Homo-oligomer: A and B are copies of this chain.
């Protein structure tokens, strides 16, 4: 008669507690003393208990993490690795599971239906190649959604962002404060709203000094080229007049640009200073180490998961942007603040 595996009721009587208590122990709810939990767990072990129904309800607290294919293997990607870790660890804290789902830019019709049935919400990491239409489709189906490092103008989605505008402003301000006035910028594809915001921040800082980036010093990015920034930088170096400093819109772009600068036989930062935004792990190992703006990637992931959970729980009713603070990290690629171009002692402030 005891052929069928033990049930919660069996565990309860074996441990001398109520079924509810057993349930609470299994689901890690508050209000259980360590002793009781211990008793229950050992009873579960002794009787070899295995929940029956749990198969289907586990899907009920699973969320999807939609990510574009180019970032795969995403776990090790310079930017999204940290974001994913943040999402994952917050999900764990909330008792949720995360399923990774890759968006392939070549397959037009993305298989949303396969995803949405198993999932209570979706966080969309990065955009660019993920057409706004896909995102709208998700909301039409009433699936809660949170965007990461992207927003859609006039479409008020909940999202979590780095302070991209301020980051652009900060790095540009830093380079201006070092005395530079001939500054170029390596921008990114305009489909990434985060990169657009960064550029706008750069331009605002320049405008405060009544300066504009000359058009020839704002080359368009090569789409699809493996080494971002490399070709853009070459274009600038081929011009008659060369900038004394260049701002790269991302660390990756900066790294490509540094290659081009070195190949041209120029020194960093003596001939050309370079600064960027992201503070990815590799930025501290470039030669010279990159002056950049830290974007708290782990926190972005964490907050995104937290926000998604709150939307699912009905706690967040109005959509808003959550913006995490950025911080300028001064290393060596712009020269140190003590030694500006003309004035070795104090930061230059001419303008």
Contacts and interface: CB of A to CB of B under 8 A. Distances in A.
- Identical copies in the complex: 2
A215 to B, nearest CB: 7
A110 interface: no
Nearest to A200: B204
Contacts of A204: 200-201, 203-204, 207
Contacts of A154: 327
Nearest to A325: B156
A332 interface: no
Contacts of A302: 318
Interface in A183-205: 200-201, 203-204
A303 interface: yes
A322 interface: yes
Contacts of A200: 165, 169, 201, 204, 207-208
Nearest to A168: B204
A32 to B, nearest CB: 17
A163 B321 contact: yes
A127 B266 CA distance: 47
A227 interface: no
Interface in A79-118: none
Contacts of A212: 207, 210-212
* Highest count of chain B CB atoms <10 Å: which of A203, A215, A324: A203
Nearest to A302: B318
Nearest to A204: B200
Number of chain A interface residues as a range: 20 to 34
A154 B156 CA distance: 27
Nearest to A155: B325
Nearest to A321: B323
A200 B197 CA distance: 12
Contact of A320 (B206, B207, B322): B322
29 contacts: A156-B325, A163-B321, A165-B165, A200-B204, A200-B208, A201-B204, A203-B203, A203-B207, A203-B208, A204-B204, A204-B207, A206-B207, A207-B212, A210-B215, A212-B212, A299-B318, A299-B320, A303-B318, A303-B320, A318-B324, A319-B325, A320-B323, A321-B321, A321-B323, A321-B324, A321-B325, A322-B322, A322-B323, A323-B323
Interface of A: 154, 156, 163, 165, 169, 200-201, 203-204, 206-208, 210-213, 215, 296, 299, 302-303, 318-325, 327
Given A165-B200, A169-B200, A200-B207, 18 more contacts: A200-B204, A204-B204, A204-B207, A206-B207, A207-B207, A207-B212, A210-B212, A212-B212, A299-B318, A299-B320, A302-B318, A319-B325, A320-B322, A320-B324, A320-B325, A321-B322, A322-B322, A323-B323
